[in-house]
Structure 1
Amino acid sequence: AASHSGIFYAGITLFNLFITTNGLLPCGRIEDQPRFPWRGQHLDCARHFFKPDTIVGLLDLMALLKLNRFHWHFSDDEAFRIEIPNLPEVWQNSRCRGEGAYMPGVFGGGIKACGSYSVSDVERIVAHAKALHIEVLPEIEIPAHSYVLNQIFPEMRDPDDTGMEESVQGYCGNVTNPACAKTWEVIGALIDGIAPLFPFGYLHLGCDELPQMAWSGSPRMARFKQQHGLKTADDVGAWVMRKAADLAGAKNMRPAAWEETARGAGGGIGNEALLFIWQGQDAGVEAARAGYDVVMCLAQNVYFDMAHTSDPADWGASWAAIVALEETINWDPVPVGAQDIADKVVGVQGAFWGEFTQQDHQIEPMLAPRILGLATKAWSQQDALEGSDLRALAGHYRAVFDALGWQWNTAA
Structure 2
Amino acid sequence: MSIQRQPALRLETSWMPASEERNQAYTLTLKNLSSKSIADFSLCISGPGRVDPAVQIEGGTIGRRLSNFTEFLPPENFELEPGNTWTLTISALSWPFQHWTDGATGAYVAFGNGSTLSLSVEPTRSLANNAPLKRGAEIYPVPGNPPVPVAIVPWPNEVSVSGKRSVPPGFTLDANTPPAIAAAAAFTSLVEQLFAVEGIVRPASEGGMPVTLDVVEGLAPEAYGVSFAEEIVRISASTQTGLLYGLITLGQIWRGAHLYPRAFRFPVEGVIRDEPSMGWRGLHLDVARQFYGKAEIKRLLAILAWNKVNRFHWHLSDDEAWRIEIDAYPALTEVGAWRGHGLAIPPLLGSGAARTGGYYTKAAVREIVAHAKELGIEVLPEIDVPGHCYAMQQAIPELRDPQEAGSYHSVQGFPDNCVNPAREKTYEVLETIFRELIELFPFKTIHIGADEVPLGAWSGSPEALAKLREIGGDAIAEAHAKRLNVITNTHGADDIEGSGAAVLQSVFLARIQKFLAEQGCITGGWEEAAHGNVIDKTKSYLCGWRSVEVSAALAGQGYEMVVCPGQVYYLDMANSPDWDEPGASWAGWSEPEKLYNFDPVEGWSVEQKRNLRGIQACIWSEPMTDRAVFDRLVFPRISALAESAWTKPAHKSWERFKAVAGLMPVLYAYP
- Fold match (TM-score > 0.5): yes
Q: Does 1:309 align with 2:580?
A: no
Q: 1:113 aligns with which of 356, 368, 371?
A: 356
Query: Is the Cα contact below 8 Å between 1:97 and 1:105 reproduced in 2?
Result: yes
Relative to 1, partners in 2 of residues 1:268 and 1:237: Cα closer, same or farther, differing over 3 Å? same
SS of the residue corresponding to residue 40 of structure 1 reads: strand
Distance 1:395 1:170 in 2: 43
Q: Is 1:254 aligned to 2:525, yes or no?
A: no
- Structure 2 residue matching 1:246: 3-state secondary structure: helix
Contact 1:144 1:176 in 2 (8 A): yes
Instruction: Name the larger-Rg structure.
Output: 2
Deviations 1:142-164 (A, max 9, x none): 11000112222222122332342
Residue 227 of structure 1, aligned match among 463, 467, 470: 470
Q: Which stretch shows the higher mean deviation, 64-73 or 376-385?
A: 376-385
8 Å CA contact 1:146–1:175 kept in 2: the answer is yes
Give the superposition deviation at 1:174.
0.5
What stretches of structure 2 of length at least 5 have no aligned partner?
1-236, 258-262, 477-499
Question: In the alignment, which of 265, 279, 286 is matched to residue 37 of structure 1?
Answer: 279
Residue identity in the other structure for 2:648:
Q
After TM superposition, the structure 1 = structure 2 runs for residues 255-334 of structure 1, keeping only pairs within 5 Å, are: 255-264=523-532, 267-271=533-537, 272-334=539-601
Contact residue 282 and residue 615 of structure 2 kept, 8 A: yes
Does the residue aligned with 2:437 lie in a helix, a strand or coil?
A: helix
Q: Which residue of 2 aligns with 1:192?
A: 435
- Report how far residue 77 of structure 1 moved: 0.6
Aligned match of 1:143: 386
Which residue of the partner structure matches residue 406 of structure 1? 669
Shift of 1:26: 6.1
Report the CA distance shift for 1:395/1:105 in structure 2 as closer, same or farther (over 3 A).
farther
Letter in 2 for 1:406: A
Q: Gapped runs of 5+ residues in structure 1?
A: none
Residue equivalent to 1:243: 511
CA distance in 2, matches of 1:349, 1:2: 26
Counterparts of 1:175 and 1:393 in 2: how far apart (Å)?
44
Q: When the two structures are superposed, what TM-score results if normalisation uses the length of structure 2?
A: 0.58
Which residue identity lines up with residue 10 of structure 1 in the other structure? G
Alignment partner, residue 657 of structure 2: 393
CA contact (8 A) 1:242 1:269 kept: yes
Distance 1:38 1:163 in 2: 43
Match of 1:377 in 2: 644
Residues 397 and 224 from structure 1, CA distance in 2 versus in 1: closer, same or farther, beyond 3 angstroms?
same
Mapped to 2, the partners of 1:209 and 1:337 lie a distance apart of 26
Cross-structure match for 2:402: 159
Aligned Cα RMSD in Å? 1.9
Match of 2:342 in 1: 100
| Partner Cα separation in structure 2 for residue 195 and residue 101 of structure 1 | 30
| Distance in 1 (alpha carbons) for counterparts of 2:366 and 2:353 | 33
Whether contact under 8 Å (2:572, 2:583) holds in the other structure is: yes
Give deviations 1:112-165, integer Å, cap 9, x for gaps: 212111111101110110110101010001110001122222221223323422
Count of residue pairs the alignment pairs up: 402
Does residue 1:59 correspond to 2:301, yes or no?
A: yes
Equivalent-residue separation in structure 1 for 2:466 and 2:668 (angstroms): 57
Following the alignment from structure 1 to structure 2, what is the Cα–Cα distance between the partners of residues 62 and 406? 16
Match of 1:12 in 2: 248
Which segment is superposed worse, 36-45 or 212-221?
212-221
The residue that corresponds to 1:174 in the other structure is 417
Identity of aligned residues (%): 35
SS in 2 for 1:275: strand
Shift of 1:94: 0.9
Cα distance, 1:337 vs structure 2: 4.4
Q: CA deviation at 1:362?
A: 3.5
Select which of 618, 625, 636 maps to 1:358.
Answer: 625
Distance, in Å, in 2 between the alignment partners of 1:43 and 1:258 is 14
Task: Specify the code of the residue in structure 2 equivalent to 1:268.
Answer: V
Does structure 2 conserve the Cα–Cα contact (< 8 Å) formed by 1:368 and 1:407? no
Match of 1:351, SS state, is strand
| 8 Å contact kept, 1:239–1:269 | no
* Residue 70 of structure 1: how far off its partner (Å): 0.5
Measured in 2, the distance between the counterparts of 1:282 and 1:396 equals: 32
Q: Name the counterpart of 1:133.
A: 376
Q: Is the 8 A contact 2:409 2:416 kept in 1?
A: yes
Contact 1:401–1:407 (8 Å) recurs in 2:
no
Deviation at 1:86, TM superposition (A): 2.0
Give the one of 445, 451, 466 matched to 1:202: 445
Worse-matched range after superposition: 145-154 or 254-263: 145-154
Shift of 1:243: 0.8
Tell me if structure 1 keeps the 8 A contact 2:576–2:591.
Answer: yes
Asked if residue 211 in structure 1 is aligned to residue 454 in structure 2, the reply is yes
* Aligned partners of 1:295 and 1:346 also within 8 Å: yes
TM-score, normalised to structure 1, is 0.92
Residues in 2 aligned to 1:263 and 1:25: alpha-carbon distance in whole angstroms? 54
Partner SS state of residue 314, structure 2:
strand
Deviation of the 1:383 alpha carbon: 4.2
Do the aligned partners of 1:365 and 1:407 also contact (CA within 8 Å) in 2? no
Matched residue SS, 1:137 = strand
User: Does the 8 Å CA contact 2:283/2:312 hold for their aligned counterparts?
Assistant: yes
